[in-house]
Structure 1
Amino acid sequence: MTRLSERYSILFVEEPKDPDEAHPQGHVKQVKINDHLTVFTPYIPWHNWPTMCSQYVPLLKKHVDAIEASAFWFYSPYYVHLLKSFNPGKVIYDCMDEHSAFKNASPNLPAYERQLLGRAEVVFTGGRSLYEAKRDLHNNVHCFPSSVDSEHFEKAMDAATEVPEDLQEVKRPVVGYYGVIDERIDMDLLAKTAQLLPDVSLIMIGPFAKIDKKEAAKADNIHYLGKKDYALLPGYLKGMDVAMMPFALNESTRYISPTKTLEYMAALKPIVSTPVRDVVREYKGTVAIEDNATSFAEAIRAYLQETEEQKQSRKKLQAEKIKANSWNKTVEEMERLAFKDQGKGNSQSSPSKRSVPMD
C-alpha cells in the first residue's frame, strides 16, 4: 500500500480493537503514513461480522469522498458486508490466507468468501497453494507469492543498526523467529529442539494469538520477547545467528506462503523451516527444510558451523532469490492487473459474472 500511495490516495482500515480507557467506544485512531496513505483503527466492541461491518459504514462515508469512483481492496472476506451499503468502482480481493482454516474462524466464512468472489473483478493470492485453491472459483485469479521490502531488511547487515537491548542480554548463539505465535507454531518441535540444543538460545518474537501462553513450549533456552515494531525487526535479525520457521503441519499452515522467508533471506540469514508446502516449492535449495526435531536441530547446528565457503555460496543463492522477488515488481504487476487493464475487453481481465446474494 505504501508503494501504491505514490499514485493513489489510500485509506487503510484495520480490524477493530476493543475500547479501553485511552480509546473509548467509537474512537478512531488515525496514523498518517504519508500524504496519501492514512491508517484508521476503530475501537468498537465485538459483535457478529455483519453488525461490525455496519459500524464501518459511517466511518467510510465520512472520510471517502467518492465511493463509486473508489476501489475497495479486501484482505479478508469478513468485510464483504460493506458491499451491502456501498457500490465501489472496483472490488479487489487480495487473498493472503485461508482464513477459514484458522482457529476460531467463523463457520460462515466460506459463504462470506463466495459473496466476495462474486463481487470481485480481480483476485490475488499470496502463494501457489492458495492460487490452486481459488483458481477455479473465479475467472480472474493471479498468483503473487511473497515479496520483500529488501531495503528495510538489509539494514540487518548495516554496521549502524543496533541489536535491541533485550536480545543483547540473551546468550549466544541465537536462533530466532518473529511473527504471530498461534496454532501455526509447532510447540512440540520447538521444545524438543531446545532440548537437543541446550547451548543455543531460541528466540520467539511476536504476540500470542488464539492460544494461551500456557500452551507455549518452555525451556531455559527458549525466550519469548513479545511483539516488536516493524521498524525494529532488522535489529532483531542482526542479532540472530540463524532464522527459523518452526511451523506445524496442519490445516492452518496448508496454504501459507510465509513473507518472513524472504525477509530473513534479505538479511542473508541461514534459514531452517519445517516442510510447509509453499516453502518447499519456492525455496528448496535456499532454506534447510526439516520435518522433525532431530533433523531441525541438526540443520541449525550445521549452519552454526558453516565454513566461509559454504556461507558465501548460500548468500549468493539468497541474493539471487531476493532480486527476483522485490515488492516494486509485484506492485507494478498488481496495479496493471487491478487498474490498467480494465476496459480492454479480453477474457483475462474481465470481472466475474457470478451473482451471489448478500445474505
Structure 2
Amino acid sequence: MNRNCDIICFSLSRWDSEISSPALSLAKEFARNNRVFYIDHPFSWKDYYQLKHTPQIQQRKEALLHGRNPYSNPPSLPSNITVVTTQLTWPINFLPPRFLYNRMAKWNDAIVLRTIRQLIKDYQLKDFVYLNFFDPYFVQKLPEDIKSLTAASVYQSMDDISQVAYSHRHGTRLEEQIVHNFDYTLCTSKELTRLKSPFSNNVFFHPNAADTDIFKTAVTQILPKPEALQGIDKKIIGYTGSIEYRSDFELLKKIATHHSDKILFFVGPIQGNEVQEFGLDQLPNVIFAGPRKITELPAFLQYFDCVIIPFKKNTLTKSIYPLKINEYLAAGKPVIATHFSEDIYTFKDVAYIADSDDEFLQLIDTAINSNNATLQQQRIDVAGQNTWTARVERFWEIVSGNGK
C-alpha cells in the first residue's frame, strides 16, 4: 500500500460543523502527507429550504443548485484538503424501506457518484483510498469503474446506528451492506467491533483520539478568560460537546442541585427539549454558552475545575468511545464519567468512573480537592498516546494487511 496515495473522504460530518468531528480530525492528519478530498454529507432539498439563508448554504449555493464550483479550500483547513460539495439530494429517510425508498436512494447515489466521477477526472485520481466516515446512506457498494481505481475502500463505524430511531429506520441495514461490501471496516469502540464483525472478516478496532496540540494549550499557555466565564467566582464543573439524547439529564439536574455552591457550565449545541423538560435552564447555577470552535475550547477548559462525561448507561452508550475523554485529559483536567462502556473504563487510572449517581456526585468533590500537578501530568501522558497521528499510523497498518 502506497501511504502517499490520494484519499477521498465521504463524511457524515460536514467540515464546518459546530462540534468536533473525528472525521475532519483524521482528514487533517492525513493531509500532512496526502491529498485529501473531503466530500461533505450531501444537503437535501429539505435542508436547502430550511437553511437557505445560513452561511452553510449560501457559500455552497452554486454547487448545490447547479453543480458549479464544487471544490473549495477553506483557509482554516490544511492546504492539502479540498472540500467537495455534491448537488442537492432528495430527502427520503421518512419513506418505508420498500420500492420507493430504494428507487430514490439510487437517484441520490447517482448524484453523489456523478460528483465522485468528476472529481476523479478533474484531479486525475487513481490508486486512491475511498474512506466513508459513518455515512452508510449513500453508495453502499462502489461501482466497478470507481472500485477499479481504488487501492482500498474503508468504512468507519462510530456509533450503534440501531439505537437511534431516525438512523435505525434505514441505517442499520444499509450499514450491514456497506460493511459487507467494503474492503475494511474500522470501529471506534470494542463493542462496535464485536457488533460489526459478523458482516466482514476485516473489522478492526480503531478508537477516537484528540488534537492534543490544541488541548494542551490549556496547560502550557495562559489563555484569555472567555467572556462567558467573566464574573464567575465559584468552582466550575464543565462539559464540552453536544447536549442531547446520550446525556443523563436526571443526573445533570442532581449535579446542579447537589453542587449548588458550584457552576455547571456547558459549551456546545443543545439538541432536543430535555434541557427544558428537566428544568436545567431554570437553575441559577447552570450556564449554557452555546457551541464554540474546537480552537476555543482550551480557553474554557483552563478555567474549569473539573469536567464531566455524564452519559446514560444503555445499549447505545455501551458502544461509545467518547471523543472528549482524550481532549479533557490532554488539557490536564480531572474527569468524572459514568461507567457507560468498557472503553471509558480503560481510563480508570486517570479518570474517575462512577457506578451510581451518588458516587458521581461525591467524585466531583474528590476530583477537585485532590487535583495536583502529578495527576495532571499523568492525564496528559495518557492523552499523548491517543493522538490522531497514532490513529493514522494504525490506519495504514490495517489497510496494508498488518492489522491483526
Match in the other structure for 1:301 = 365
- Within the candidate set 57, 60, 78, 2:116 is matched to 60
Q: Give, in angstroms, the shift of residue 332 of structure 1.
A: 1.1
| Partner Cα separation in structure 2 for residue 101 and residue 31 of structure 1 | 36
Match in the other structure for 2:138 = 79
SS at match of 2:346: helix
| Partner Cα separation in structure 1 for residue 381 and residue 317 of structure 2 | 26
| Structure having the larger proportion of residues in helix | 2
The answer (yes or no) to whether the contact 1:196–1:294 under 8 Å persists in 2 is no
SS at match of 1:204: strand
SS at match of 1:254: helix
Map residues 23-102 of structure 1 onto 2, 5 A cutoff. 23=57, 26=64, 30-32=72-74, 33-40=77-84, 44=88, 47-48=91-92, 50=105, 51-65=107-121, 66=124, 69-76=127-134, 77-81=136-140, 83=142, 87-88=146-147, 89=150, 90-102=152-164
How big is each residue's C-alpha offset from its partner over 1:169-221, in whole Å with a ceiling of 9 and x where there is no partner? 44421111111111100001000111100011111211123556534551211
The answer (yes or no) to whether the contact 2:352–2:363 under 8 Å persists in 1 is yes
Match in the other structure for 2:338 = 274
Identity among equivalent positions (%) equals: 22
| Partner Cα separation in structure 2 for residue 75 and residue 108 of structure 1 | 17
Q: Unpaired runs of 5+ in structure 2?
A: 1-26, 94-104
Q: Give, in angstroms, the shift of residue 63 of structure 1.
A: 2.8
| Partner Cα separation in structure 1 for residue 239 and residue 139 of structure 2 | 33
SS at match of 2:271: coil
1:21 aligns with 2:22: no
Q: Give, in angstroms, the shift of residue 274 of structure 1.
A: 0.6
CA RMSD of aligned residues (A): 2.6
Q: Give, in angstroms, the shift of residue 316 of structure 1.
A: 3.8
Instruction: Using structure 1 for the length normalisation, give the TM-score.
Output: 0.85
- Within the candidate set 345, 349, 365, 1:285 is matched to 349
| Partner Cα separation in structure 1 for residue 333 and residue 269 of structure 2 | 22
Q: Give, in angstroms, the shift of residue 303 of structure 1.
A: 2.0
Q: Unpaired runs of 5+ in structure 1?
A: 350-359
Letter in 2 for 1:36: N
SS at match of 2:180: helix
- Within the candidate set 14, 24, 28, 1:2 is matched to 28
Match in the other structure for 2:326 = 262
The answer (yes or no) to whether the contact 1:103–1:252 under 8 Å persists in 2 is no
Instruction: Using structure 2 for the length normalisation, give the TM-score.
Output: 0.76
Q: Give, in angstroms, the shift of residue 270 of structure 1.
A: 0.3
| Partner Cα separation in structure 2 for residue 96 and residue 193 of structure 1 | 28
The answer (yes or no) to whether the contact 2:239–2:266 under 8 Å persists in 1 is yes
Letter in 2 for 1:333: R
| Partner Cα separation in structure 2 for residue 186 and residue 43 of structure 1 | 38
Distance 1:250 1:170, change over 3 A: farther
Q: Which segment is superposed worse, 199-208 or 17-26?
A: 17-26
The answer (yes or no) to whether the contact 2:185–2:204 under 8 Å persists in 1 is yes
Q: Give, in angstroms, the shift of residue 148 of structure 1.
A: 2.0
The answer (yes or no) to whether the contact 1:174–1:239 under 8 Å persists in 2 is yes
Letter in 1 for 2:198: D
Letter in 2 for 1:273: A
Q: Give, in angstroms, the shift of residue 31 of structure 1.
A: 4.3
